Amino acid sequence: MVSGKIIVITGASGGIGAALAELLASKGAALALVARRENELQTVADKCGKNALAITADVTNRAEVKRVIRETLHHFGRIDVWVNNVGRGISRQPSQLTDADIDDVMRVNIKSALYGMQEVLPHFKARGDGQFVNVSSMLGRMPFAVIRSAYNGAKHFLNALTANFRMEHAESHPNIVFSLVSPGVVRTDFGLNAMHGGPDSRQMPNSQSAEEVAEVIVDVIERRRADVYTRAGARDRVVEYYSTVGEDP
Kindly give the confidence (pLDDT) of every residue in the chain, 249 residues in length, as a single tens digit, with 9 standing for 90 and above.
Answer: 999 999 999 999 999 999 999 999 999 999 999 999 999 999 999 999 999 999 999 999 999 999 999 999 999 999 999 999 999 999 999 999 999 999 999 999 999 999 999 999 999 999 999 999 999 999 999 998 999 999 999 999 999 999 999 999 999 999 999 999 999 988 888 888 888 888 778 878 788 999 999 999 999 999 999 999 999 889 999 999 888 866 654
The predicted structure's pLDDT at residue 201: 83
Q: Is residue 91 part of a domain?
A: yes
Question: Which residue numbers are catalytic?
Answer: 151
Angle among Cα 161, 167, 172 to the nearest 5 degrees reads 130
Q: Is residue 1 part of a domain?
A: no
Q: Is residue 102 part of a domain?
A: yes
Contact 113, 134 (CB under 8 A): yes
Output the domain CATH number for residue 183.
3.40.50.720
Contact 188, 15 (CB under 8 A): yes
Number of domains in the chain: 1
Q: Is residue 249 part of a domain?
A: no
The predicted structure's pLDDT at residue 184: 92
Q: Is residue 103 part of a domain?
A: yes
Contact 68, 79 (CB under 8 A): no
The predicted structure's pLDDT at residue 202: 81
- The number of C-alpha atoms within 13 Å of 62 and in the hemisphere containing its C-beta is 6
The predicted structure's pLDDT at residue 149: 94
Range of the structural domain that residue 69 is part of: 6-244
Q: Is residue 186 part of a domain?
A: yes
CA distances from 113 to 10, 59, 88, 123 (A): 9, 8, 13, 16
pTM for this predicted structure: 0.94
Q: Is residue 215 part of a domain?
A: yes
Cα 205 from chain centre: 22
Q: Is residue 222 part of a domain?
A: yes
